[in-house]
Amino acid sequence: MTPAAVPIIGGTGALGFGLALRLARAGVPVLIGSRRPEAAAESAAKLLERVPDADVEGLANEEAASRGPIVLLSVPFRAQSENLTNLKGVLAEGQTLVDATVPLAAAVSGKATRLLGVPQGSAAEQAQEMVPEGVHVVSALHTVGAALLADLDHELDEDVLVTGDSPPAKAAVAELIRRIPGLRPVDCGRLETARLVEGLTPLLISVNIRNRAHAGVRLTGIEEPRW
């Protein structure tokens, strides 16, 4: 059975496009969303050049978000609030929003990248406050590098830390993540734990800069994560 289409809000950005590539190659229909439909269409055409048999469309964010049970949000934190405000009239009860945003402050004058303070505790918890009632927010995909996702010759081998307050929503997101070879979803608990997971992103950035690498996260001692 063909899986449901996956809208990716911010699908023209590095992380969103990398996820679109990997999902499309795994046979998942992808809807690339953007504020500018023409930019989304251009990205869809670029994806087809790399994955010729992909099922992909480029659409305005609002139209894309209305057409799938699981919606991926992969925009910079500074654009999270605006995007969610624009999607309030589109997202509906029963949908799941996967929030991959990280409240990062860009490095300035040689200082390391750091987390911004979020009153709710995390970007994911802020998203849960902003989505319509009945939409479940699941936090995931913060530690997967965009560059490695976009390199289809690279074999992924890392864990994806997933948090959320709805077990069925988390399980559905985990099933989607498993469709990408080399990614293993791990249930890390309630949505409030996202504030810890989001903090791993600047840590990995620092490690990768220091080592000129693309390190991810791998949890040892777990043969098969429990869901």
Dump pLDDT digits (tens) for 154-194: 999 999 999 999 999 999 999 999 999 999 999 999 999 99
Q: Residue 140 has what pLDDT?
A: 98
* Res. 108 pLDDT band, cuts 50 70 90: very low
DSSP bridge pairs for 58: 32
Our CA angle for 148, 223, 141, nearest 5°, is 30
Instruction: Give burial (CB, 10 Å; 0-12/13-18/19+) of 167.
Output: exposed
Q: What is the mean pLDDT of the chain?
A: 94
Q: Residue 116 has what pLDDT?
A: 80
DSSP three-state, residue 171: helix
Q: Which pTM value belongs to this model?
A: 0.94
* Residue ranges per structural domain of the chain: 6-211
For residue 198, what are its two tokens?
Answer: 């989001």
| Residue 96 vs residues 43, 140, 174: alpha-carbon distances, Å | 24, 12, 12
Position 94: which residue type? G
| CATH number for domain 6-211, candidates 3.40.50.620, 3.40.50.720, 3.40.50.300, 3.40.50.2300 | 3.40.50.720
